[in-house]
Structure 1
Amino acid sequence: MGEMKAIEDAYDTILENSLTIVRYSNSSLVNVSEKLRKIDEKLYFFAYHYLRFANQRLTFIYFLSNNGNRYDTQIIFRTFLECLTRLIYITYKDSHDGIKTALEEIFIDLSDIQFLRTSTNLAPLSGNTSFPQNSSNMWRAAKTTSEEGNEVRTRTTGKDRSRINHKYSFSEMVREISTSRAGPLAEFNVMLHSYNQASHIAHADLMGINLVEDFESREEDEGYLMSFAHRSSMISDATHLLTIAYKLIYSVVGDALDLAPINNHVRLMDDATKLINDAFYATQAHLYEASDSR
């Protein structure tokens, strides 16, 4: 009973300090927003909307995690990862020219690819009068004529579209980020495990079903610790990623985000996360020992 109380207290510590760190990071953006706008209006627009979207997803992560809903939390965490990975991929570039090129590829080339894919998928609905006829991109894509589609295709070749699509895939962005920069970004590839697990659950494929079955087959105490370990790590990882994104935005405008006011909160969050993870991994020692003896 005492250990479970310690786990619950540690989780509360993670949540409390995460909220403090995120509030500080969000409030710091006002200090560089105008500088960012002057450097590149598109970058300002991109950063503003991606950070807004990421913060909304983080709110859902807090809510679902607090309700003990591990799997839906993982699915939202996957979306959060995709959003911030793209923002980090843009802003970690070593030059403004590199950032400008990446933004053009996202706003123009990648947008074309997504438009064509949507148009192809919705083509069977184009003659359906019950389909919502409004001015949205979804409806426009469904009603795209062959001439309009061909006009989009002439902007880039099929080979170019494949290259851009691959370049901005989650796994490729993570690979480049983790191999191109020292420091915290060098370990960015650890996010692939969380992303892949969440993808299986979101798609309800056999691996996803097996992940859920595995969790639900655990002994009560082990499952309890496993749930806390996974939910705590998601909150901690999300908090660190958001902080990295803000640090990179500061570096784009030639400033440095002052982390002194939140360093102690980061330490408390990380220590509490380690406490919970260590408690869970201790219940898995027999599995590692069995694997090592083979």
Structure 2
Amino acid sequence: MQELLSSSVNLYSQIRKLFQGSIEACREIEPEFASFAGAQMSYYSSRCQSMNILLQEWKLWDCDILMRSALECATRFLFVCIAPSPERKNRIEEYSVHLNEVEDIQRSERARIAARNTLDSEAAMLFGGAVLDDEDEVALRARWPKPRRKLLKQKWSFSEIVHSLEKFKQDDLDLTNYGSLLHSYGLSSHLIHADQTAMDLMYDRATRTADVRALQERAHFARLAVEQTSMIFLCWRAFEHASGRKNSTKEIAERLILLYEEGNQYHHEFALSQQHLYK
């Protein structure tokens, strides 16, 4: 399994280097887009580095939680990339400014409650620093009444963005199968919220026979090891599409297919062990 992870990390590093070159080439043409892409991919790569540490420790459930964060980052990045140039600028502003203003309102509310309820004077001081000034809060609430906030957050919700991506298909970028990620995203959401489904998932894994559990864990590991590299490749291709660049990706795509096939053998082995349950 570590060989699979090593292959994925090596290919990931090559794609990231090419991606960084594409971002730098875009800076003179669309500096805001290039800066947005650089920040998003820095965050994504940082999550993937942490995931790889967890994979080496066989902490698959914890890795899945981090994968959700990386997937949300990549999905919103793709949402920006598929937009035509005028709308792309609008989406960057919505993400970088408007959503942040909405979060400022909610963050201020939570900080005010925390400052009021803490028994620690220093903590109260620090929480208070996150509370908006009265004038700023009034201005933000006037600019972002609840109905408008709700509409913006709905537009940028994961499920809404996935529905938009599924409709996108052009010669150099086809995202019509993006909805296939909804299932794994949903499972990681259960893990984050520690609900009953999360408990059931972990119990089911723990109570399987040793041989079946090993097959399932290897398939789980393979998905997490390969998916992060597949996603950065997709983000790079989307960025190339948006910036109008025509770099050849044939060699990288061929290596990605080989990586996918290497990981898919573990999914196949687990699927074969479960066939008798679904007849």
Instruction: Give me the TM-score of the superposition, normalised by structure 2.
Output: 0.91
Contact 2:27 2:34 in 1 (8 A): yes
Contact 2:82 2:168 in 1 (8 A): no
Query: Which letter does structure 2 place at the counterpart of 1:110?
Result: L
The question of 1:169 aligning with 2:157 is answered yes
Contact 1:64 1:73 in 2 (8 A): yes
The question of 1:231 aligning with 2:216 is answered no
Contact 1:20 1:265 in 2 (8 A): no
1:269 aligns with 259
1:215 aligns with 205
Q: Residue 256 of structure 1: SS of its match in structure 2? A: coil
The question of 1:109 aligning with 2:98 is answered yes
1:131 aligns with 123
Contact 2:166 2:179 in 1 (8 A): yes
Moved more, 101-110 or 258-267: 258-267
**CA shift at 1:72, angstroms?**
0.4
> Over aligned residues, Cα RMSD in angstroms?
1.9
Deviation string, structure 1 residues 182-208 (Cα, Å, up to 9, x no partner)? 664111111111111011111111111
2:191 aligns with 201
Contact 2:222 2:264 in 1 (8 A): no
**CA shift at 1:174, angstroms?**
1.2
Deviation string, structure 1 residues 57-87 (Cα, Å, up to 9, x no partner)? 1112222112211100111111111111111
1:38 aligns with 28
Gaps of 5+ in 1: 1-10, 290-294
Q: Which residues in structure 2 correspond to 1:2-81 (within 5 Å)?
A: 11-81=1-71
Q: Residue 102 of structure 1: SS of its match in structure 2? A: helix
Contact 2:16 2:232 in 1 (8 A): no
2:166 aligns with 178
**CA shift at 1:35, angstroms?**
3.5
Question: Residues of 2 paired with 1:149 and 1:264: CA distance?
Answer: 53
Question: Residues of 1 paired with 2:227 and 2:253: CA distance?
Answer: 15
Question: Residues of 2 paired with 1:228 and 1:172: CA distance?
Answer: 32
Gaps of 5+ in 2: none
**CA shift at 1:139, angstroms?**
5.4
The 1:21–1:258 alpha-carbon spacing in structure 2 relative to 1, beyond 3 Å, is farther
The question of 1:259 aligning with 2:228 is answered no
The question of 1:119 aligning with 2:108 is answered yes
Instruction: Give me the TM-score of the superposition, normalised by structure 1.
Output: 0.86
1:157 aligns with 145
Question: Residues of 2 paired with 1:139 and 1:188: CA distance?
Answer: 42
How much identity, in percent, do the aligned residues show?
22
The 1:275–1:36 alpha-carbon spacing in structure 2 relative to 1, beyond 3 Å, is same
The 1:102–1:50 alpha-carbon spacing in structure 2 relative to 1, beyond 3 Å, is same
1:280 aligns with 270
Query: Which letter does structure 2 place at the counterpart of 1:206?
Result: Q
Contact 1:25 1:243 in 2 (8 A): yes
